[in-house]
Amino acid sequence: MLENDNGSFLKKNYPLVLIAVGFFLVLFPFNLFGTDKLGPISLVLYSLFAVLIMGFVLYYKQRSKYSAKTRKIVKLTALAIPLFFVASVIFGVALGIGNILYVSSLEPTKNLDRDLFEKEILDWTNTHRNQYGVGSVVLDPTLNDLAEIRSTNLSVAYPAYIEAYSDIDINVIAEREEIECIVNGTSVPIHDYTILVPSKSYSEMEKVVDLIMTYMVDDEGYGNIIFGSNITKTGIDTFVVGGDLFVVQNFC
């Protein structure tokens, strides 16, 4: 008797069973994780979603056979589905915003305006050169190209060989690339430095630039180059690798 009763129940209520299967096996994982994380499983879920729709269609055609209580349950289920979608969207948006903020905190260089950062370095250089009475330097396109080449080499070498590559004389690289610094018709030596910018708040760009430039002058002995009276040109480039920001600047 029990088997007959169960069979009779499933036979009479299979549209409801389809709806229940579709709701729990499709909507919940589909909205909670999203297709990008579910991968091939999403194809299966799309199929089950079709089962869900079929369940509602079959119910609608046979709704007169169901009790008022059953019809009320189905109506509530139908109402719950769009509400679940809305809740999932809100949850997804909140999760996405939180993830963006979290990633930004781990990678402060991600949204950094590097062009503005390089301009701040040029401004700092000229402001302090003028204070020393040696005049401003001009941003030279050829030296900029050389700085970019140095940046590219160091990016490729990061992290294992970056120190070894940074020790390569910039004039060796310039000769290889057939780049010269011409001042008053004469080819003169090129000087450069590379520095890892400390993990500070890049929104306080002027303070960070002042920190690294002061370090290069006071602790690394580059003052005689940065403030050299015979220095007239500079090239600047920045690069980000491994979440770290590096500055390359050369002079001649």
pTM above 0.75, yes or no: no
Question: At 222, phi and psi to the nearest 5?
Answer: -90, 5
- Residue 221's CB: how many other CB atoms inside 10 A? 9
pLDDT number for residue 229: 92
Distance separating alpha carbons of residues 2 and 59, to the nearest angstrom: 25
The topology (CATH level 3) of 114-251 is: Pathogenesis-related Protein p14a (3.40.33)
Kindly provide the residue ranges of all beta strands, DSSP E only, lying in the chain, ordered along the sequence.
Answer: 138-139, 181-183, 186-188, 191-196, 233-241, 244-251
Which burial class, exposed, middle or buried, applies to 154 when counting CB atoms under 10 A from its CB (0-12, 13-18, 19+)?
Answer: buried
What SS3 class is residue 194? Answer: strand
Residue type, 132: Y
Q: pLDDT (tens digit, 9 = 90+) per residue, 219-237?
A: 778 889 999 999 999 999 9
Question: At 199, phi and psi to the nearest 5?
Answer: -75, 85
Domain ranges of the chain: 2-106, 114-251
- Token duo for residue 128: 């302090």
- Token duo for residue 200: 């500070």
Which residue did the predictor score with more confidence, 218 or 53?
Answer: 218
